[in-house]
Amino acid sequence: MRRLLKPMNYLPPVFGPEPEAEFKTKKQAIYPAITGLDVQNPWRLLRDSEVDALTPGQISELAERFDLTLDLVRDLSRELAATLHEGSLLGAVEVEKEKAAERGSKGLLEALERSKKVSDQLNKCGNALQPLGGEFTYGAQPASDLLEVKESQQVIQRLVNALVDDLSKLSSQDQPAFVFDATDLRKVSDRRRIGVVYDCCLTWRAAGKPVTYTTTPDGSKRSTRGGPLIEFVQTIVALNVTSPNFILSADTIQKDIEAFKKLPSDAE
């Protein structure tokens, strides 16, 4: 059973094709780790020393309950450990290159406008200092201090003017800077959940079982989702991969199953 999502310790962001098969698109993206996210489910993060997400007893129980071989469930336990590894790319946030570039350009333009205002204020400061003289205090400390103030203003003015020129040149280039964070944290997807569901689907299919679910009308506009695979995923999630234990909704699992079924065979 091949992994969909391999753990990877966080490295400095590098642009390129998305590294995970199920998230393949034509866009370019990076995956920086961003703190402060409101994670949907309380996933238990595993360290390098934890190679299994499930205990031996849980593995035996799952194999018997869902008619799976012990080897398949042991493999699943290791796959889940990789998916929930604290350094997994699943814990990172996708940042699209185009959006990052757009926000970077906006930040540069803001810096340019602010530097121009500083330059303008410094110029006014220089104009105010220019007529001042120390003739009546010649040779005394105040005259010397005034001269130093004027020289300081001129030095700072030159530095700020150079900054304005550099920012202006940089802003005119194509995608000169990027902002490496999520545009809208409210839209960040729960990738650990997707990884867990996909791991379960791979195990289920490796056992020769149909990757599907049942739909039962419940008298309302919506229908109740169920079936052995959904029950299997819910059992896995409630066992040891969330802390505190959490029951994943059948509707959410159903959507992830549909996404899994659309994957090309070479992505699994």
Q: Per residue in 220-248, pLDDT tens?
A: 566 678 899 999 999 988 886 776 777 88
- CA dist., res. 105 & res. 86, Å (int): 33
Q: CA-CA distance, 37 to 32, in Å (whole number)?
A: 13
This model's pTM is above 0.75: no
pLDDT reported for residue 90:
54
> CA–CA distance from 49 to each of 8, 60, 82 (Å)?
15, 22, 11
**pLDDT of 32:** 55
pLDDT of amino acid 155: 95
pLDDT of residue 204: 95
Residues 91-110 as b or e (16 or more Cβ within 10 Å = b): bbbbbbeebbbebbbeebee
DSSP helix/strand/coil, 245: coil
Residue 121: partners with Cβ closer than 8 Å, 6 or more residues away = none
Domain range annotation of the chain = 21-94+182-267, 97-171
pLDDT at 228: 92
| Cβ 166 vs Cβ 119: under 8 Å | no
Three-class DSSP category at 219: coil
Of 197, 211, 214, give the one whose Cα is nearest residue 256: 197
> What is the dihedral sign for C-alpha 247, 251, 257, 259?
negative
What local confidence, expressed as pLDDT, does residue 3 receive? Answer: 45
> According to the model, what pLDDT value does residue 100 have?
81
What is the SS3 string spanning 36-55?
Answer: CCCCCCCECCECCCCCCCCC
Beta bridge partners of 29: 96
HEC secondary structure over 155-204: HHHHHHHHHHHHHHHHHCCCCCCCCCCCCCHHHCCCHHHHHHHHHHHHHH
Spans of the chain, pLDDT less than 70: 1-49, 86-95, 134-141, 180-190, 217-223, 240, 243, 265-268
What DSSP state is assigned to residue 103? H
Give Cα separations from 144 to 61, 122, 154 (angstroms).
87, 21, 16
Those residues with Cβ within 8 angstroms of residue 176's Cβ, 6 or more apart along the chain or in another chain: 104, 105, 108, 170
Give the pair of three-digit tokens for residue 16.
């390129």
Q: What is the mean pLDDT of the chain?
A: 77
